[in-house]
């Protein structure tokens, strides 16, 4: 059986991820060890918190290099929330240079009349193109969000889903063996579980 790891870079949100994986019959190893990440067949990269602190911790633990190497070798990776933001080159939060797995930058959510930032609660995702991780998710499904920033890849083809919160912001990304969601599938009920189940079955291949 293939090995699955959940990366612990002191950015929280691990318990609900592990609980959801166990609900699907999968035991993921929570790790801070770069060698364990380097050997994993599949990686979940969750997180909540600030980009600056997160990147500092990843670098201190050597997990930044392990993630980059795992991406290059083709291991399927799922980024969640903060893990969907710091995969880009730069974050406006703390003016932080990030992992650079995808080209682009993470931007602050603009203030819109009648809408509070952070964006917190349930919202829909308008999927733009098919992807194995997002197959079978109905258009009326809602997912749980809590964030003040959003990932903005520089290549439009990498944006797989948009969410309306005063502006249309990218909420689902995909390129090569990397998929990412600004929302929390592990907190999004049965449709979030379906997404995680899709990821567990995904071989990491994706044709744009």
Catalytic residue list contains 98: no
Q: Can you give the pLDDT at residue 12?
A: 74
DSSP labels, 22-36: HHTT--PEEE--HHH
pLDDT-based confidence at residue 208 (cuts at 50, 70, 90) = confident
What does the pLDDT look like over 40-79, one tens digit per residue? 999 999 999 999 999 999 999 999 999 999 999 999 999 9
Stretch 175-204: mean pLDDT, rounded? Answer: 98
- State both tokens at 178: 């990397």
Distance CA 189, CA 201 (A): 19
Q: Can you give the pLDDT at residue 193?
A: 98
Stretch 138-152: mean pLDDT, rounded? Answer: 97
Fold of 4-201: Rossmann fold (3.40.50)
Of residues 131, 184, 197, 208, which has the active-site annotation? 184
Q: Can you give the pLDDT at residue 13?
A: 77
Stretch 155-167: mean pLDDT, rounded? Answer: 97
- DSSP label of 10: S
The rounded mean pLDDT for the chain is 96
CA angle 47, 192, 15 (to 5 degrees): 40
Catalytic residue list contains 186: yes
Catalytic residue list contains 147: no
- The answer to whether 161 touches 170, Cβ cutoff 8 Å, is yes
Of residues 81, 98, 119, 147, which has the active-site annotation? 81
Beta-carbon-side half-sphere exposure of residue 43 (alpha carbons within 13 Å): 33
Q: Can you give the pLDDT at residue 1?
A: 47
- The answer to whether 153 touches 56, Cβ cutoff 8 Å, is no
Residue 87: pLDDT over 50? yes
- The answer to whether 81 touches 120, Cβ cutoff 8 Å, is no
What does the pLDDT look like over 98-141, one tens digit per residue? 999 999 999 999 998 999 999 999 999 999 999 999 999 999 99
What percentage of the chain reaches a pLDDT higher than 70? 100
pLDDT-based confidence at residue 22 (cuts at 50, 70, 90) = very high
Of residues 156, 186, 197, 208, which has the active-site annotation? 186
Distance CA 12, CA 21 (A): 16
- Centre a 10 Å sphere on the Cβ of residue 102 and count the other Cβ atoms it contains: 24
Nearest CA among 32, 36, 6 for reference residue 21: 6
The domain locations on the chain are 4-201
């Amino acid at each position: 059986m293939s090995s699955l790891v959940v990366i612990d870079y002191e950015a929280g949100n691990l318990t609900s991820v592990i609980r959801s994986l166990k609900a699907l019959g999968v035991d993921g190893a929570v790790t801070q060890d770069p060698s364990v990440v380097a050997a994993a067949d599949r990686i979940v990269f969750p997180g909540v918190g600030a980009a600056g602190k997160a990147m500092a911790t990843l670098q201190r633990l050597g997990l930044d290099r392990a993630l980059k190497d795992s991406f290059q070798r083709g291991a399927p990776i799922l980024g969640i929330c903060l893990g969907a933001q710091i995969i880009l080159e730069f974050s406006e939060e703390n003016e932080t240079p990030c992992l650079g797995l995808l080209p682009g930058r993470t931007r602050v959510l603009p203030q819109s009349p009648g809408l509070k930032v952070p964006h917190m609660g349930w919202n829909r995702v308008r999927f733009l193109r098919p992807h194995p991780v997002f197959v079978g998710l109905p258009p009326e499904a809602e997912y749980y969000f809590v964030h003040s920033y959003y990932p903005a890849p520089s290549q439009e083809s990498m944006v797989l889903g948009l969410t309306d919160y005063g502006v249309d912001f990218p909420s689902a990304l995909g390129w090569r063996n990397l998929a990412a969601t600004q929302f929390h599938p592990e907190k999004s009920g049965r449709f979030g579980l379906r997404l995680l189940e899709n990821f567990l079955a995904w071989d990491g291949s994706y044709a744009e």
